[in-house]
Amino acid sequence: MISKRDLLSIIFGSVVVYFTAAAVFAQKIETGFLNRSVAVSGVEYRYQVYVPREFNRKQKWPVIVALHGGGEYGSDGMRHTNVGLASAIRRNPERFPAIVIFPQAKADGKPGWQLESGEAAMAAMDKAIKEFNADPKRVVLTGLSAGGNGTWSLASRYPEKFAAIVPVCAFVSKFTGRSSAIDYPALVAGDDPHTEVAKKVATLPIWMFHGAKDDVVLPDESRKMFDALKKLGANVQYTELPNANHNAWDPAYSNPELIAWMLQQKRP
């Protein structure tokens, strides 16, 4: 037989548990652009994660990884979120029910995402997927300019990690950055790097964008990749913007059809 004191203890304990649980569930979930960092080989790399206002942990969220260009190298963790996909999110957040990861490559004189900064981007992606209960089968990789080069680079090394890719004003060949003066080696050695990279990514759905008037990264880079991918029977589409110069990213990321397409992609 339960004594009155024991009964009161049980009731009190139940009340404490109830209100503790209620307090936990009542805590506001962080949304918007959030500061994060990841360590790779003992070096800190800052990144940001966009979390939609409607976020909840009961569902698996699609993921977009967005790689910035050569003008945004640094360690502040913020500069790169003032251009490209981040700007598109701020203009039309309702189009982006997704976890969007914005890594930042170091200003270390190295070729952007081809080396350590690329490994840090992959680590940030894995960490964010775990933290925000995102769907690892619905990860789309995109990048502009040097980030487009990074898109080809990471996708060719880790094609199994991505559901689709969107390279914007990207390059595969040897290139010297106009804003950074960094020398980027061709992603694959040999006389035909476009075909060799295409072989590595041909299993992925790909949507490419480039400005027809681009005088920084010539549109021939994307034309050659498109031709190489088509010869391999890849699921690829190419949009060349007739009036765009190097900034093909604003019209590309402002295209609601592109964003909807990205969010529909899923690995088997």
Higher-pLDDT residue of 44, 19: 44
> pLDDT tens, 103-161?
999 999 999 999 999 999 999 999 999 999 999 999 999 999 999 999 999 999 999 99
Determine whether 261 is exposed, middle or buried from the number of CB atoms within 10 Å of its CB (0-12, 13-18, 19+).
middle
Rounded to the nearest angstrom, the gap between the alpha carbon of residue 118 and the centroid of all alpha carbons in its chain is 11
Nearest to 169 by CA among 64, 80, 68: 68
Residue 220, pLDDT above cutoff 80 = yes
Half-sphere exposure of 149 (CA within 13 A, CB side): 28
Domains of the chain, first to last: 29-264 (3.40.50.1820)
CA distances from 176 to 66, 70, 127, 153, 217 (A): 21, 10, 32, 16, 10
Kindly report the number of other CB atoms within 10 A of residue 51's CB atom.
20
What pLDDT shows up at residue 22?
Answer: 38
- pLDDT grade, residue 29 (50/70/90)? confident
Distance CA(258)–CA(255), nearest Å, equals 5
Q: Map residue 201 onto helix, strand or coil.
A: helix
- Rounding to the nearest 10 degrees, give the CA dihedral for residues 30, 139, 125, 80: -80
Nearest to 129 by CA among 222, 211, 36: 36
Q: Map residue 72 onto helix, strand or coil.
A: helix
Report yes or no: 140 and 258 within 8 Å, Cβ to Cβ. no
pTM: 0.89
Q: Specify which residues 206 forms β-bridges with.
A: 165, 236
Location of structure tokens 């010297």? 176
Polymer length in residues for the chain: 268
- pLDDT grade, residue 178 (50/70/90)? confident
220-224 average pLDDT score:
98
183-199 average pLDDT score:
96
At 11, list the tokens: 């009731």
